[in-house]
Amino acid sequence: MSDGLTETETDEFRSKVRSFLSENASAELARTLDGQRSYMGELAAAGLAGMTISTEYGGAGLTRHHDALFREEVANFPFMSSDFVISHGMCQPMLNDFGSEDQKKKYLPDNIAGRTLWCQMFSEPGAGSDVASLQTKAERDGDEFILNGQKVWTTMAHVSEYGVLIARTDPEAVKHAGISMFILKMDSPGVEIRPIHQIDGGKHFNEVFFSDVRVPVDDLLGEVNNGWNQATAMLMYERVAIGTIGAGKINQTNYRMLRSIAKESGKLQDPLVRQDLMKIYSMETAKSLVAMRTRAEMKAGKTPGPGGSLGKLFGSVIQWRMREIMMNMAGPASQAWTVGDDAAADMQRATVGSFSSSIAGGTDEIQRNIIGDRVLGLPRDISVDRGIPFKDLKVGTQR
């Protein structure tokens, strides 16, 4: 018996998950958003989606232990939810933690079953690492807020039905105090979404503009002017979601990809290449262990601490090393596009896409600041705006 589950119950649950995954998880479905949506629908119908969320809100109503068992099993199958990392890893827990009873009943079932996709609208042209400097404003007008401003780098906005957004509701307050969080319907009048074209050929993120967008007061998420505390919680979920992808077991996905490139290019016996391969192998092993510890802490009911930052930073350091190794082994082919060759395309996407892992979800420097401050106990970053009302700060376009 562990965590309230007998050995028989554990075995039965594992075999239910395994048989579901054998029938429904496939690399082909994983490749498209529609495929992932249909997988999510089946997962919800099987009572395996939104694992720890109450059945009243469309979840599975199971325990953290079930969730951990599911993660262990799912790590042996294709990753079926790459387009749902934000929707499920970040927006879903925010709705569950901060949503009103009505909001949970209205939004969670569709979110959990993948019938709706959600995005995160925090960053602005003048507010990234220092996101509390955001200038998008939401002004109260009767039963609505009127939204004006701009977000940027909004992953999946162009295919999302909803988003979680932060906006300034009190410019007289100091910058962290006058922010509120909202649920935004992405097809609301006045919302304009412009995709950003990426170097790897993709179009995953966007600029989003708001011109007099009317947001019902009912879609305020949490309390007015408490948005910064909630944003911090969401950023923590973000680091955990990014840093613990595939955290159900120890895995070395990148190592396997590099080893097959080394084999194909006849460099597997080269001692320097072998040394590089072992470095990636050990870094990935360590990253898996950090991610498993973070998940275990969550399973024990603890709020994930700086472990989220450690895992996230580890992931981006691995991407940087991978890029160097691929360029050493494959030369220009590691970046030049060969249409129709899937293996080459994977390698090239990993090379040119490696830069983004050091920025998305908070830059490496910011993760190091968090680790320095909260793990190592070093002095905090210097703050020059303490006690000053937001409207008097020289940030964004306020210059």
Ligand X SMILES: Cc1cc2nc3c(=O)[nH]c(=O)nc-3n(C[C@H](O)[C@H](O)[C@H](O)COP(=O)(O)OP(=O)(O)OC[C@H]3O[C@@H](n4cnc5c(N)ncnc54)[C@H](O)[C@@H]3O)c2cc1C
- For residue 160, the minimal CB distance to ligand X (Å) is 10
> Does the protein bind ligand X through residue 360 (CB under 6 A)?
yes
Q: How many CB atoms lie within 10 A of CB 146?
A: 17
Q: What is the 3-state secondary structure (H, E, C) of 314-355?
A: HHHHHHHHHHHHHHHHHHHHHCCCCCCCHHHHHHHHHHHHHH
Identified catalytic residue from 56, 238, 284, 297: 238
Contact, 306 vs 374, CB < 8 A? yes
Q: What does residue 121 show for φ and ψ, rounded to 5 degrees?
A: -115, 85
- For residue 205, the minimal CB distance to ligand X (Å) is 5
Q: Would you say 296 or 360 has its CB closer to ligand X?
A: 360
Residues 301-307: contacts with CB under 8 Å, at least 24 apart: 301/64, 303/236, 304/236, 304/239, 304/240, 305/374, 306/370, 306/371, 306/374, 306/375, 307/240, 307/243
Q: How many CB atoms lie within 10 A of CB 31?
A: 12
**Count of positions on this chain that bind ligand X (CB under 6 A):** 21
> Does the protein bind ligand X through residue 103 (CB under 6 A)?
no
> Does the protein bind ligand X through residue 232 (CB under 6 A)?
no
> Alpha-carbon distance 30 to 19, whole Å?
18
> Does the protein bind ligand X through residue 57 (CB under 6 A)?
no
- Please give the residues from 330 up to 359 whose contact with ligand X meets the rule CB under 6 A: 356, 359
Site string (120-159) toward ligand X, x via CB under 6 A: xxxx----xx-----------------------xxx----
Q: Would you say 158 or 279 has its CB closer to ligand X?
A: 158
> Does the protein bind ligand X through residue 205 (CB under 6 A)?
yes
CA distances (Å), origin 50, targets 2, 5, 91, 107, 278: 21, 19, 12, 13, 37
> Does the protein bind ligand X through residue 367 (CB under 6 A)?
no
> Does the protein bind ligand X through residue 206 (CB under 6 A)?
no
> Does the protein bind ligand X through residue 381 (CB under 6 A)?
yes
Q: Would you say 128 or 305 has its CB closer to ligand X?
A: 128
Q: How many CA atoms lie within 13 A of 157 on its CB side?
A: 27
> Does the protein bind ligand X through residue 371 (CB under 6 A)?
no
CA distances (Å), origin 164, targets 68, 121, 309, 365, 381: 27, 6, 22, 25, 28
Which residue matches tokens 């988003």? 163
Q: Is 238 part of the annotated catalytic residue set?
A: yes
Site string (162-201) toward ligand X, x via CB under 6 A: ----------------------------------------
> Does the protein bind ligand X through residue 313 (CB under 6 A)?
no
Looking at residue 91, what DSSP letter applies?
Answer: I
Which residue number is nearest to ligand X in terms of Cβ? Answer: 128
Q: Would you say 174 or 395 has its CB closer to ligand X?
A: 395
> Does the protein bind ligand X through residue 161 (CB under 6 A)?
no
> Does the protein bind ligand X through residue 322 (CB under 6 A)?
no
Binding site for ligand X (CB under 6 A): 86, 119-123, 128-129, 153-155, 205, 356, 359-360, 362-363, 365-366, 369, 381
